[in-house]
Amino acid sequence: MRVSWLWLSGMGLVIWAAGAVVAAPPTGGPPPASLSASLDRVQNLLDEIKVHRALIGSTLTPRQLASLQKVVEQSADALRAQQAKNDQAEAAYAGALAQIRARLAAGQNVNRDTETRYRQAVAAGQAKLRALRDKWRDQLKTELISLATPKQKLAILSTTTALARLERQTRWQTAGDPQEGPAGILGEQLDELREVLPADFPDQARRFARLFVRRPPLPNLNKLSPEERASLQKQGGLRVVYRRKMDAVMQPYLQLADRVRRLTPNQYAGQRLALSTALLDAMLQSRSHRNEESDDARLTQFVERYLLNPRAPVVFRERLGR
């Protein structure tokens, strides 16, 4: 089943798959078993696609993947076993709550100790699962670092960033409400560029452009040589030089602002969502560069998102023909 669009909302649930629509009315109860199975199938496919892309981008060889596979399988088994225990604890908690509710509805007093005991059991299980996940994450990360070459480590870091960007864009493009995501966040900015008075457009365009650029670093005047200070003064001083640098990095967005303003109403209506998506991605990329994540953090993300993914063992077996 090929999934074209997936939308989950508080008002109901719709899956658009291979042209067919399956809808669950907002009854407040659990979804039908067939619908739940379809959702699980969709999620499994999405997870397997993500893991396949991650492993392809990592450039790890079949031999390296085979070395990782054992730890991937062991971690999945351990996490699955703990999750099963947690599910049992949560089912017991739900049963206890149902009994408490029934007694309260019948006008009976209920001791809160029972509810507290079940709630604490659920919380303890969740804490065990987090600790277990951290343990296997660290073990997989150590194994990955020992196996990957320097070139492969760079590929893994690049892949982690690229896939996060791809997943973010996919969420935007499949948003159920067109006013959510980029259209809602940056669409209004684009609208203002078109609606502002001509005399105010240059200032508005500069404010718009600043959203997307990395500010050039200011030189430390105390560390400049006399020659460098003299050169700075000849160029008009620090403020003038900085403005020129900002103008240079903002130029593509200033040009875009001008182009958006010149579009016809029909052209703008057709391009608004695509422009908003590209601009929001550029803004987030700029912010991520300002607060550059360490290589270690991105390596951790790769392990958590892909090697610890519940569907990772399936993908490893597929790629290794086992």
Residue that has been written with the tokens 């999934």 in this structure? 3
Rounded CA-CA distance 288/214 in Å is 10
Backbone angles phi, psi at 20, to 5 degrees: -100, 145
Backbone angles phi, psi at 264, to 5 degrees: -70, 160
Q: Residue 53 burial by CB count (10 A; 0-12/13-18/19+): exposed, middle or buried? A: middle
Q: Tell me, what's the pLDDT at 149?
A: 95
Contacts with 267 (C-beta within 8 Å, 6 or more apart), sequence order = none
Rounded CA-CA distance 205/257 in Å is 6
Rounded CA-CA distance 12/17 in Å is 16
Rounded CA-CA distance 293/232 in Å is 33
Q: Tell me, what's the pLDDT at 237?
A: 60
Strand order in the sheet with 20-24: 3-9, 12-17, 20-24
Residue whose C-alpha is closest to residue 169's, from 94, 274, 66: 274
Q: How would you write the pLDDT of the chain (322 residues) with one tens digit per residue?
A: 333 333 333 333 333 333 333 444 444 455 566 777 888 888 899 999 999 999 999 999 999 999 999 999 999 999 999 999 999 999 999 999 999 999 999 988 888 888 899 999 999 999 999 999 999 999 999 999 999 999 999 999 999 988 887 777 676 655 555 555 555 667 888 888 899 888 898 888 888 888 777 665 555 556 556 666 666 666 666 566 667 777 777 888 888 888 888 999 999 888 887 888 777 766 666 555 444 457 888 899 999 999 999 999 999 999 998 6
Q: Tell me, what's the pLDDT at 321?
A: 87
- Locate the domains of the chain by residue range: 62-174+307-320, 182-290
Q: Enter the pTM of the model.
A: 0.61
Residue whose C-alpha is closest to residue 32's, from 21, 40, 42, 24: 24
Rounded CA-CA distance 265/244 in Å is 33
For 186-240, the pLDDT digits (tens) are: 788 888 889 988 889 888 888 888 877 766 555 555 655 666 666 666 666 656 6
Q: Tell me, what's the pLDDT at 53?
A: 94
State the helix-helix crossing angle for 265-290 and 238-262, rounded to 10 degrees: 150
Q: Tell me, what's the pLDDT at 291?
A: 44
| 3 state SS of 6 | strand
